[in-house]
């Protein structure tokens, strides 16, 4: 009787572990802390084209929504998502701002010339510090920011169809 109880307890315990691990397999690897959804703090970076240092407070103005996209010319997924950014940039309710992450400015400009420019302004984050301060994991990464400069959504990695539709529904 005693052995049976031990056996059943062990079986229940291992079944529980198996269910927890199995459910975990279906969870997304992307973890976005709740603290991400805060008001964007001011940062200063150089402009890709003029090389002048500019405050973000001067750029994040006069729009209902801002899309802040961190990208680099050396990043494959950035190329993949670029047509989607071009399409989204046609919307009048949104201002596109780019952060060029750890890139060669010449290559970044070539990338824009070749694939089109969805951005109304491009910051250059040469050492990647500002991107990390924003909570970025790497490139590409996209933040949707409202007119009060509050981050309302963050997309890690390239924008797939699901993310694209989600952004479209936010920007309606």
Three-state secondary structure string covering 36-101: HCCECCCCEEEECCCCCEEEHHHHCCCCCEEEEEEECCCCHHHHHHHHHHHHHCCCCCEEEEEEEE
Q: Residue 172 CB, nearest distance to other proteins (Å)?
A: 30
Question: Can residue 147 be called a binding residue for other proteins (CB under 8 A)?
Answer: no
Q: Classify the C-alpha dihedral 146-152-154-158 as positive or negative.
A: negative
Question: Can residue 127 be called a binding residue for other proteins (CB under 8 A)?
Answer: yes
Looking at 12, 19, 36, 152, which residue binds other proteins (CB under 8 A)? 36
| CB of 34 or CB of 161, closer to other proteins | 34
Question: Can residue 107 be called a binding residue for other proteins (CB under 8 A)?
Answer: no
Residues 38-97 within binding reach of other proteins (CB under 8 A): none
Distance CA 121, CA 156 (A): 21
Question: Can residue 101 be called a binding residue for other proteins (CB under 8 A)?
Answer: yes
Distance CA 172, CA 161 (A): 16
Question: Can residue 15 be called a binding residue for other proteins (CB under 8 A)?
Answer: no
Looking at 26, 35, 52, 169, which residue binds other proteins (CB under 8 A)? 35
What three-state secondary structure class fits 137?
Answer: coil
Question: Can residue 132 be called a binding residue for other proteins (CB under 8 A)?
Answer: yes
Q: Are 63 and 147 in contact (CB under 8 A)?
A: yes
Question: Can residue 7 be called a binding residue for other proteins (CB under 8 A)?
Answer: no
Question: Can residue 133 be called a binding residue for other proteins (CB under 8 A)?
Answer: yes
Span from 30-38, 54-62, 63-71, 144-152 in contact with other proteins (CB under 8 A)? 30-38
Question: Can residue 135 be called a binding residue for other proteins (CB under 8 A)?
Answer: yes
The CB density around residue 105, as the number of other CB atoms within 10 Å, is: 16
Which residues make up the interface to other proteins (CB under 8 A)? 31, 33, 35-36, 101-102, 127-129, 131-135, 137-138
């Amino acid at each position: 009787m005693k052995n049976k109880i031990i056996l059943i307890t062990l079986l229940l315990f291992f079944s529980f572990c198996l269910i927890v691990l199995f459910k975990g397999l279906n969870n997304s690897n992307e973890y976005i802390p709740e603290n991400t959804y805060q008001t964007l703090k001011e940062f200063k970076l150089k402009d890709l084209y003029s090389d002048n240092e500019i405050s973000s407070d001067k750029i994040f103005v006069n729009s209902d929504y801002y899309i802040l996209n961190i990208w680099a010319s050396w990043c494959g997924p950035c190329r993949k998502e670029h047509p989607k950014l071009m399409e989204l940039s046609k919307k009048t309710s949104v201002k596109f701002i780019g952060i060029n992450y750890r890139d060669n400015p010449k290559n970044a400009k070539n990338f824009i010339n070749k694939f089109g420019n969805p951005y109304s302004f491009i910051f250059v984050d040469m050492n990647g510090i500002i991107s990390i301060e924003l909570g970025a994991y790497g490139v590409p990464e996209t933040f949707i920011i409202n007119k009060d400069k509050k981050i309302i959504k963050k997309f890690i990695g390239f924008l797939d169809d699901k993310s694209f539709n989600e952004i479209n529904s936010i920007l309606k």
